Amino acid sequence: MPDPNLDDCRRSIDAIDRELVDALNRRGLDGESRLPWYFPTPHDYGARLERAGFRIDSIALIPRPTPLPGDVVDWLETFALSFLDGLAGEARAEYLQEVRAALEPQLREDDGTWIADYVRLRFAATL
């Protein structure tokens, strides 16, 4: 069974998720219900593999900070559409700018490059 301590590592795009959810919550919307992604912990995914009959050889969360090709708002407009549902025009632009401002101290480098806080779950398992 995987080491439960591995679950202490932050999940993929944790900062981005947190700011997207919080900004919706401040608008009286249920931000958590709009999370479209599934990022299992090593413990959870390892248990699923074992229930399916696999033997886990290794499993770990691997931080993989990833430079974005442009502004984080571009990334949000591509990958975070479920959060934007029902927000149009100025309301949408204000929401995106609020999220951007909250993420800037966390994910923007001094040279202006935005870094997505990706974390990869890697495993090797055999039947």
Stretch 91-110: mean pLDDT, rounded? Answer: 98
Q: What band does 9 get if pLDDT is binned at 50, 70 and 90?
A: low
Asked whether the whole model's pTM tops 0.95, one would answer: no
In this predicted structure, the answer to whether residue 31 has a pLDDT above a threshold of 50 is yes
Please name the residue that has the structure tokens 């299992």: 40
Domains, the chain, with CATH or none: 4-126 (3.40.50.150)
3-7: long-range pairs with CB below 8 Å, 24+: 3/42, 3/43, 4/43, 6/41, 6/42, 6/43, 6/59, 6/60, 6/61, 7/41, 7/42, 7/43, 7/44
Query: What's the rounded Cα separation, in Å, for the pair 21 and 73?
Result: 15
- Contacting residues for 94 by C-beta, under 8 A, at least 6 apart: none
Structure tokens at 31: 């931000």
**Minimum mean pLDDT among 2-11, 14-23, 31-40: which range?**
2-11
Residue 10's pLDDT is what? 62
Residue 121's pLDDT is what? 94
pLDDT tens, 55-87?
999 999 999 999 999 999 999 999 999 999 999
Query: What's the rounded Cα separation, in Å, for the pair 24 and 124?
Result: 38
